[in-house]
Structure 1
Amino acid sequence: MRFVFDEVFNSDTDSPEFEETCSTTSSTSSQCPTPEPSPAIKLPSFTKVGTKKLVNESVVILDPALENALRDLNLQSKLIPINEPIVAASSIIVPHSTNMPLPRASHSSLLDNAKNSNATAPLLEAIEESFQRKMQNLVLANQKEIQSIRENKRRVEEQRKRKEEEERKRKEAEEKAKREQELLRQKKDEEERKRKEAEAKLAQQKQEEERKKIEEQNEKERQLKKEHEAKLLQQKDKLGKAVTNFDKISKMFWHYKDKIAQIKQDIVLPIKKADVNVRNLLSRHKRKINPKFGQLTNSNQQLFKIQNELTQLINDTKGDSLAYHWILNFIAKAVVHQAETEVRVKPESALPLGKLTLYLLVQFPELQELFMARLVKKCPFVIGFTCEIDTEKGRQNMGWKRNNENKWEDNTSYDERMGGILSLFAIITRLQLPQEFITTTSHPFPIALSWHILARICNTPLNLITNTHFVILGSWWDAAAVQFLQAYGNQASKLLILIGEELTSRMAEKKYVGAARLRILLEAWQNNNMESFPEMSP
């Protein structure tokens, strides 16, 4: 065990235990070449022991164990040799500093003085006591350091355990969250599966119901068709025995011409003097109705939409009889105008227009007379009426128009207009009534009217037959020939041969373009290549 030499010598503390200061060397015995002060040592104070007593006492003999302990301490190796120069001031306590060099003292001199002194035992006791204190301090310091190290280790261990616990809890939380998410996903998947199964089951039930409904509807239609065919057979027998009465046709023509004048007198002119609110309502409805016919497509869904919109607009005017008839007359004019402009260039557009017109004719019976009057005015061929066109009056009666130069339109324009209007009329005659009206309403323009047109044209004097007659026969063929054959069977075949072969042969010398096309249609039918307008999509 080492000790600090300056703690034995001069100290910066004035402890009562070290009151005596001994000079290590005297001025006479100093061997130092320079008169520098020698270090002083503070020895324990022995107030109860005098010099005389120490001198008289016998030499103290150390305990062998203590002597061995002192020998083990090897104090001599820790002291400065006495013959080395030492800078020190007598009776001056040197401050304790680890950065300053320790003062050197002569070990031999101190040892000799200790041996020569009778106070050796107390000195050793004091030294031992000092060492004990130092040892205790070192032990305490070591224990404190050990305690600090243990405390640090404990804190580190606690921190490690805390982190491990936090990590464990975090992982447990993550695992729990994952399990919950997985359970939630499984629950959603199960719900989705059940929902799809329910939807599939519902769709299957709905499909089954639709199938049954369609079967019932088809059965009902077959029954109605059977009854309708029976009626047509009766009509066919009557028509086969009948002879065309042109006087009756002429009276019908003038009836509708008079109807046009009546419409102008009783409906059109009075509206101009009607209440401003009524006129404003009709003006708004007119602007809404006008574009509806141009919005028709080959889609039944679009057709139903326009049907509902027009029905609502017409119903809005039912509160005023004059306004109601005016709006119906306006619709009749609009339909005929659509036929002579749109259908003339796109004949298949007659199908959606014909379906819409038939629905309105059944929904609003007052429209039938107004519509027929407009048809006959524009195209008298719909009732089989024909007259000479070599006079101004004759052309007007047959529906000819003047152009912007006040000249009669050319033959091609006239033929196209007549073909468009007759295509619409033929479509209406061959269409079946809407489902909601089959059992409650009769067809306003049945397919028997198509028979009338063909038969009356065949019976028309040849000097009145023009290319227009063959053009409208071709338009009728495209629109209704397939359904006409289905309705009248063998009798229809005879009539088609009559107009397609015999009538064209009679007029062969005229070389009408319309007649040539009609013969082509006849040959296609005879070769089983008859075509009709494509049906509308859902």
Structure 2
Amino acid sequence: MRFVLDELYDISDDEDVSPFSTDEPSPDEYTFVNEKEVDIPRLKLPRQHSRQSSEVSEKLDAEYEQLLSQLNLRAKLPTVESIPTVVPGSSGQASERSLENSASPSASASKFASSGSVVAHDTRDILSALANSLVSKMNQLDIDNSAQVQSVRNAKRKAEEDRRRKEEEARKHQEELAKRRREEEDAKKRQLEEERKRQEAERKLKEEKEQQEQRTRDEQEKALIAEQARRGKTVTDFKGIEKTFWHYKDKILQIKKEIVEPVKQMDVDTRNLISRHKRKINPKFGQLTNSNQQLQSIQMELFGLIDQTKANQLAYLWVLNFIAKALVHQSETEVRVKPESALPLAKLTLALMTRYPDLKELLMARLVKKCPFVIGYTCKIDTEKGRSNMGWKRNSDDKWEEDTSYDERMGGMVTLFAVITRLPLSVEVINQQQHPLPISYSWRLLARIANTSQDLLTNSHFVVLGSWWDAAALQFYQAYGKQAQKLLQLVGDNLTSAVAQQKYVGAARLRILMEEWQTSGIKSFPEMID
């Protein structure tokens, strides 16, 4: 059986007619596999009858039969790559049409192989193979899609893990920084606390040492007084007095070098704080009256201002030095014209020295610098240096001040010193510490002046003794009894008689005070009121 390959397809009218094409086939002679398709050529197969089949079978050459038997139709089936993708959800009709279209070339080729029964069998195999390929492709697509979804999920999970990891690292870093800052702050606080404790320990050790030295000096002083009383005469170490004098003069230089100058180099905030304290403290001494209530109020205000500077040792010492200068200045100006005003000033001074032991040394240095009589020191005043050592001042015209002015200033400072020595400690501390300037300092002042060489005595010495007498003679007599009586008699009678030829005004007044004592008793400053 022979046929032309072009006879299998129905060429569309739109295409050029091949010179080898035949007339339109008769429906009785051919059957069309894809008769309804319009986009592709139709595949036509000759209708076979039983008779024709037998004739065809009888007319096939042996050579063609051998070729047909060797024909492998499955090798012509489309592979998975060549099968068009089937969209899920498409109609069954479209799927079948696609299968028919895909199977048309194979069905056309199968005409070479066998009869209609062979074609039907091969068509089922083709459809089955196509279905399997489609299922395989869909499975593969589902696998690829799942893999891609999983890949996206993995990427998002990794990104989220990275974000969380970075946040955790940032949080740990911030915690580490905060922890480090806390540790640094704690270390700084510990260092400051250790420094404070060290300074406090040094201060306490210094106070204990000073108190011990003071107790030793007091005991030595008492022993000396007792020995002097026993012998009925005084023993004065003038070299020791001079050594004490230069100790306090050097202390003034030390204050300037170690306190005053360094404060000028401190930071602005600290200097401003000190200046504010200075402005607040300075008026307080002038506000003192004869009222104990006013004294307590001013005293508490000063305590508060001084305590605020304790955190800075340099500022603390500067404020105490300023207070020492202010106390001495107040005695030079107000006490010189109103001696009884020394009582509230002396009470305030004693309270400050009791609470702040460092004040004593600063105050004594200031007193000795301006009034060396408080330690019984005397030198010649016939030279510039001698006058300067004895506390003389120069006026604006660079001349030495008048004798009267000098004597009044010395009298005011000795009055403050004398009242301090005869005041008792407050009941709060009387059993806890020693008096910073006890009454023995008054005995020492009187005894040293009484033993001073007659050629060094001036009117100023007797003015000083008269000022002391007004301020502390009564309490001195109460403290030492008969021994005080002897010493008062010595300076009031014997000493004034020794300089009778000089006719010192101060000596005359001192003798009058002694005579009043012998006739009507010793008078004292009026006590303060509540």
- TM-score normalised per structure 1: 0.57
- Contact 1:267/1:325, CA 8 A, preserved across alignment: yes
- Contact 2:407/2:463, CA 8 A, preserved across alignment: yes
Counterpart of 1:280 in 2: which secondary structure? helix
CA-CA distance at 1:434 after TM superposition: 1.2
Counterpart of 2:465 in 1: which secondary structure? helix
Q: Distance in 2 between matches of 1:245 and 1:231?
A: 13
| Counterpart in the other structure of 1:401 | 393
| Counterpart in the other structure of 1:94 | none
Counterpart of 1:309 in 2: which secondary structure? helix
CA-CA distance at 1:350 after TM superposition: 0.4
Q: Distance in 1 between matches of 2:278 and 2:445?
A: 33
Change (3 A) 1:230 1:379: closer
| Counterpart in the other structure of 1:238 | 227
Alignment partner of 1:465 is 2:454:
no
Alignment partner of 1:352 is 2:352:
no
Q: Distance in 2 between matches of 1:447 and 1:286?
A: 31
| Counterpart in the other structure of 1:279 | 271
Q: Deviation per CA, 1:206-256, whole angstroms, max 9, x where unpaired?
A: xxxxxxxxxxxxxxxxxxxxxxx9999766313435610000000000000
Counterpart of 1:527 in 2: which secondary structure? helix
Counterpart of 1:274 in 2: which secondary structure? coil
| Counterpart in the other structure of 1:288 | 280
Alignment partner of 1:337 is 2:337:
no
Change (3 A) 1:233 1:376: closer
Counterpart of 1:445 in 2: which secondary structure? coil
Q: Percent identity?
A: 66
Q: Distance in 2 between matches of 1:368 and 1:275?
A: 28
- Which amino acid in structure 1 is aligned with residue 227 of structure 2? K
- Which amino acid in structure 2 is aligned with residue 236 of structure 1? I
Change (3 A) 1:322 1:288: same
Q: Distance in 1 between matches of 2:292 and 2:263?
A: 35
- Which amino acid in structure 2 is aligned with residue 403 of structure 1? N
Alignment partner of 1:433 is 2:422:
no
Counterpart of 2:290 in 1: which secondary structure? coil
Counterpart of 2:520 in 1: which secondary structure? coil
Counterpart of 1:435 in 2: which secondary structure? coil
Question: What is the aligned residue count?
Answer: 310
| Counterpart in the other structure of 1:453 | 445
Q: Distance in 2 between matches of 1:458 and 1:507?
A: 12
| Counterpart in the other structure of 1:525 | 517
Counterpart of 2:387 in 1: which secondary structure? helix
CA-CA distance at 1:529 after TM superposition: 3.6
Q: Distance in 1 between matches of 2:223 and 2:385?
A: 39
| Counterpart in the other structure of 1:301 | 293
| Counterpart in the other structure of 1:269 | 261
| Counterpart in the other structure of 1:509 | 501
Q: Distance in 2 between matches of 1:469 and 1:268?
A: 33
- Contact 2:222/2:440, CA 8 A, preserved across alignment: no
* Aligned residue runs from structure 1 range 207-218, under 5 A: none
Counterpart of 2:481 in 1: which secondary structure? helix
CA-CA distance at 1:332 after TM superposition: 0.2
- Which amino acid in structure 2 is aligned with residue 238 of structure 1? E
CA-CA distance at 1:528 after TM superposition: 2.1
| 1:248 aligned to which of 232, 240, 243 | 240
Q: Deviation per CA, 1:60-116, whole angstroms, max 9, x where unpaired?
A: xxxxxxxxxxxxxxxxxxxxxxxxxxxxxxxxxxxxxxxxxxxxxxxxxxxxxxxxx
| 1:386 aligned to which of 369, 378, 384 | 378
Alignment partner of 1:362 is 2:354:
yes
* Aligned residue runs from structure 1 range 410-421, under 5 A: 410-421=402-413
Q: Distance in 1 between matches of 2:314 and 2:383?
A: 37
Counterpart of 1:437 in 2: which secondary structure? coil
Structure 1, 315-324 or 232-241: larger mean CA deviation: 232-241
Q: Deviation per CA, 1:403-449, whole angstroms, max 9, x where unpaired?
A: 11111000000000000000000000000001111010100000001
CA-CA distance at 1:306 after TM superposition: 0.6
Counterpart of 1:436 in 2: which secondary structure? coil
CA-CA distance at 1:366 after TM superposition: 0.7
Q: Distance in 2 between matches of 1:283 and 1:472?
A: 35
* Aligned residue runs from structure 1 range 2-401, under 5 A: 236-240=225-229, 243-401=235-393
- Which amino acid in structure 1 is aligned with residue 345 of structure 2? L
User: Unaligned regions of 5+ residues in structure 1, if any?
Assistant: 1-228
CA-CA distance at 1:497 after TM superposition: 0.7
- TM-score normalised per structure 2: 0.57
- Contact 1:232/1:487, CA 8 A, preserved across alignment: no
Structure 1, 528-537 or 485-494: larger mean CA deviation: 528-537
CA-CA distance at 1:530 after TM superposition: 2.0
Q: Distance in 1 between matches of 2:448 and 2:336?
A: 23
- Contact 1:233/1:488, CA 8 A, preserved across alignment: no
Displaced runs of 4+ in structure 1, greater than 2 A? 229-236, 238-242
- Which amino acid in structure 2 is aligned with residue 492 of structure 1? A
Change (3 A) 1:372 1:230: closer
Q: CA RMSD in A?
A: 1.6
Q: Distance in 2 between matches of 1:233 and 1:460?
A: 21
